[in-house]
Amino acid sequence: MSTPVHGDLYKLVRDPIDLVALARHVRAPEDGALVTFDGFVRNQSHNRPTLYLDYEAYESMALAKMREIGAQLHEKYRIHRVAIVHRLGHLEIGETSVFIAVSAPHRAAAFDACRFAIDTLKRTVPIWKKEYFEDGAVWADGELPPAPAATSRAKPAS
Amino acid sequence: MPSVSQTIRLKILFFGRLKEIVGHAEESLEFPDAATIEQLFDHFAARSPELARFRPSLVASCNQEFAAWNTPLHSGDEVAFLPPVSGG
């Protein structure tokens, strides 16, 4: 369903995300706008000081869903390139957990696409974070992805 | 349950708090042919009763795609029960 688009980048990583390198990757001479979203670890959750976060993912499905988001962006908006990178594992306060960069000939499409990408990622990509506090840890409240209510699946034997 | 006696082999994945409840991330299981994802979940909930209370806040996936609970399963399917997602 997601046709690969030249130059797009979708990754799950365990090391710090190089924001500048990704922005540079997405930027091209035919563009006039680059919009980025840098999601990073907040030092508190519901007024409790956070020590650190731990992210895990259903990696194969998460990557597939990130590519689907990219394909949707190209269908919906006049944009050029997309990069979506999410970090997994142990993250300290202030470290980037997700970075999205969208380039486009004109700014409106880049803003709209970047907003759509992070909102959709937070609803549909199977990634989970556990928040660690002085007195324990909890899995963060998340969003329930929209799933088909019922199916009359007839899959050919594989 | 279906009347056929054939079984299929499934791979089941657990994430987040479900992984903590079940005690591991992945298992392989023989299950009756043409059973649904719901029946598979019931199997695990019978084994780990704490799972049952999370059922309303889970979505299922089959082969890396969100799937309805009444989806019939086939041999080789990879099924996961996904807690509310909290990436970003």
Angle CA(A110)–CA(A74)–CA(A23) in degrees, nearest 5? 45
pLDDT at A5 over 60: no
Residues of A in contact with B80 (CB under 8 A): 58, 61, 126
pLDDT 10s digits, B50-68:
999 999 999 999 999 999 9
Distance CA A101, CA A135 (A): 36
Q: Which band of pLDDT confidence, cut at 50, 70 and 90, is reported for residue A147?
A: confident
Distance CA A139, CA B73 (A): 29
Distance CA B59, CA B55 (A): 8
Q: List A90's β-bridge partners, or say none.
A: A54
Q: Is B32 on the interface with A (CB under 8 A)?
A: no
Query: Choosing among A56, A59, A61, which should be mutated to test the B contact, i.e. which has the most B CBs within 10 A?
Result: A61
pLDDT at A71 over 60: yes
B79 CA to chain A: closest CA distance, Å? 11
Residues of A in contact with B61 (CB under 8 A): 58, 61, 126
Pairing state between β B7-14 and B78-82:
parallel
Q: Is B9 on the interface with A (CB under 8 A)?
A: no
The reply to whether the predicted model has a pTM over 0.90 is: yes
The pLDDT of residue B4:
53
Chain A CA closest to residue B55: A144
Mean of pLDDT values over A12-20: 98
Tokens in use for A15? 């090391």
| CATH classification (class only), A9-134 | alpha beta
Q: What proportions of chain A, in percent to the nearest 5, are helix, strand and coil?
A: 30, 35, 35
Tokens in use for A54? 């731990």
* Domain range summary for chain B, segments of one domain joined by +: 7-82
Distance CA B19, CA A156 (A): 31
Contact criterion met (CB below 8 Å) for B32 and B4:
yes
Residues A15/A69/A60/B9 CA torsion (nearest 10 deg): 160
Contact criterion met (CB below 8 Å) for A34 and A27:
yes
Distance CA B71, CA A143 (A): 22
Cβ <8 Å between A148 and B86: no
The pLDDT of residue A153:
58
B46 CA to chain A: closest CA distance, Å? 23
Average pLDDT, chain A: 93
Distance CA A105, CA B15 (A): 40
Q: Quote the DSSP letter at residue B73.
A: P
Chain A CA closest to residue B88: A98
pLDDT at A154 over 70: no
pLDDT 10s digits, A19-37:
999 999 999 999 999 999 9
Residues of A in contact with B68 (CB under 8 A): 147-151, 153
Query: Choosing among A12, A37, A58, A67, which should be mutated to test the B contact, i.e. which has the most B CBs within 10 A?
Result: A58
Residues of A in contact with B70 (CB under 8 A): 150-151
Q: List B11's β-bridge partners, or say none.
A: B28, B78
Q: Taking phi first (over 0 means left), then psi (-120 to 50 degrees means alpha), and beta for anything else, what does residue B32 get?
A: beta
Angle CA(A40)–CA(A46)–CA(A48) in degrees, nearest 5? 85
CATH assignment, B7-82: 3.10.20.30
CA atoms within 13 A on the CB side of A84: 26
Q: Chain B window 35-74: which residues touch A at a Cβ cutoff of 8 Å?
A: 57, 59-61, 64-72, 74
Cβ <8 Å between B60 and A145: no
